[in-house]
Amino acid sequence: MNNCSGIDSQAYRDEWYSPRLGALYAVMGVVFQAIEIPCIIVMTDKDLWINSCYKVMFIVGVLDICTLWVNAVVPSIYMFIPLSIDCHPIAMQILSCLMCQLFWNAYCFMAVVLIMNRCVFLESPSKWHERLFANGRVWVWAAAALAYGCMFVAVYASPYGTIQFHSGIGTFIWPSTDVVSTFSSIPTYFRPVVAP
């Protein structure tokens, strides 16, 4: 049952409404995407595209743009509306579970594939590199990355692993505790450095 009572109250707006932080998220997301898109376009050049590392970097770039979209631009909209976890659980679930987990984990997987691609090429450019990355096998790695991201979607979409976006502070929280504290999320061995 969604608890949307008091969504027009000032207390609700104070907790969930954050237009300045939303504007910062939107500007940074759009600027970073505008910088990255030309780089991705250059990687599709015919002379570069024959090398498998540029195909992997292209996939990493596309996943990075998708990640920027769901971690910067979409949350900025949520900060302007404002959306509450209690009133809009489906929208929050889509943002935090489906989109963020899918793109971020697929991006991380492909970053490891890029490292592996370069290390294998340096070690044995003809033998293992061709077995792992030649003849369109890069797209098999991309499919594996999406499958890896979907695995995390399944975990976070379950009732046991859900995190949700808090539009008032611009970060993800665990809804079962309803505790929003940046300081409590810092490991104890870092706390003397952060807050003496």
List the alpha helices (DSSP H) in 81-136: 89-93, 101-123, 128-133
Letter for the amino acid at 100? C
Find the helix or strand (DSSP H, E) in which 3 lies.
none
Residues in contact with 147: Cβ distance below 8 Å, sequence separation at least 6, in sequence order: none
Would you list the domain boundaries of the chain?
Answer: 10-194
In three-state secondary structure terms, 18 is coil
Tell me: pLDDT of 170 over 70: no
Q: What is the DSSP string of 122-178?
A: HH-TTTHHHHHHTTTHHHHHHHHHHHHHHHHHHHHHSTTS--EEETTTTEEE-TTT-
- Enter the pTM of the model: 0.73
What is the residue-averaged pLDDT of the chain? Answer: 76
Q: Which residue has the higher pLDDT, 70 or 189?
A: 70
pLDDT of residue 81: 74
Task: Answer yes or no: are the C-beta atoms of 105 and 21 closer than 8 Å.
Answer: no
Tell me: pLDDT of 118 over 50: yes
Please write the tens of the pLDDT for every residue from 45-57.
999 998 888 999 9
Q: How large is the average pLDDT for residues 169-176?
A: 61
Q: How large is the average pLDDT for residues 132-145?
A: 91
Tell me: pLDDT of 58 over 90: yes
CA quadruple 54, 60, 65, 68: dihedral sign: negative
What are the backbone dihedrals phi and psi of residue 166, each rounded to the nearest 5 degrees, phi first?
Answer: -100, 110
Q: Which residue has the higher pLDDT, 77 or 59?
A: 59
